[in-house]
Amino acid sequence: MSRKKITVIGAGNVGATTAQRLAEKELGDVILVDIVQDMPQGKALDILESAPIYRYDSTVIGTNGYEETRGSDIVVITSGVARKPGMSRDDLLKTNAGIVKGVVENVVKTAPNAILMIVSNPLDAMTYVAHKISRFPKHRVMGMAGVLDAARFRTFIAMELKVSVENIHASVLGGHGDTMVPLTRYTTVAGVSVEELISKARLEAIVQRTRDGGAEIVSLLKTGSAFYAPSAAVAEMAESIIKDKKKDTAVCCFVRRGIRHQWPFCGCAGETR
């Protein structure tokens, strides 16, 4: 049986680390695309040369064009300008909308049946751009948001309580930014509600740190934004889809209710398949 093909567009920190995680999990053969001459080829070769050590047989190919992406099952879009200290995700809107539009137009030609996973910021808006330009069914266009936000929330709770992150189950809905809503009532530590374990004031502080999680890392790095945790979130989503795990995962998606009301993109819980 042939392996799945996963394309990652944008070979910067997020894209390259995503390609590495996907290959190491053997989720499929990986195509790494970037407009910078020879850069994706070099990073792909570097990832491929770690295969004998980490023991995976996924192929990793770097390219500056889209021909190699033909027939991709999943396309991850990380292209765009990264945030700098003091910038909000929305400050990137105009520039990254143009970049994502061009990328999606190319993807539609080579991988018309692919599932699109958007990582570019501002994520909610870029997911809408991808949906509008591709005209793919809404279940095939999703943004990576809730998985990353929930991971940050779980991390901060684990730090507060000094427990394993594996004992913490949490969901974060809403937009990828100030409008995100960590569901404290439904967040548990070994089955016990976090509201019973952490004071209201401390929990509110953790919720706010979760909302500011990306900005905190940008301010510390000075010259870039987060990429380890975002790439891990993409890999988890891709694994859920490829293995048909029927896993409830919060993603950015298009939601329509009733006949007359059309809702914008937001974090919504559902099966990533």
> Which residues are designated catalytic?
176
Q: Are strands 168-169 and 188-189 parallel, antiparallel or unpaired?
A: antiparallel
The DSSP letter of residue 82 is P
Strand partners, 225: none
Contacts of residue 45, defined as CB under 8 A and 6 or more positions apart, other chains included, come to 60, 62
Q: What are phi and psi of 121, to 5 degrees?
A: -95, 155
Amino acid letter at 219? S
Residue 146: which of 193, 182, 198 has the closest Cα? 182
Question: Cα 129 vs. chain centroid, distance in angstroms?
Answer: 16
SS3 assignment, position 270: strand
| Distance between first and last Cα of the chain | 20
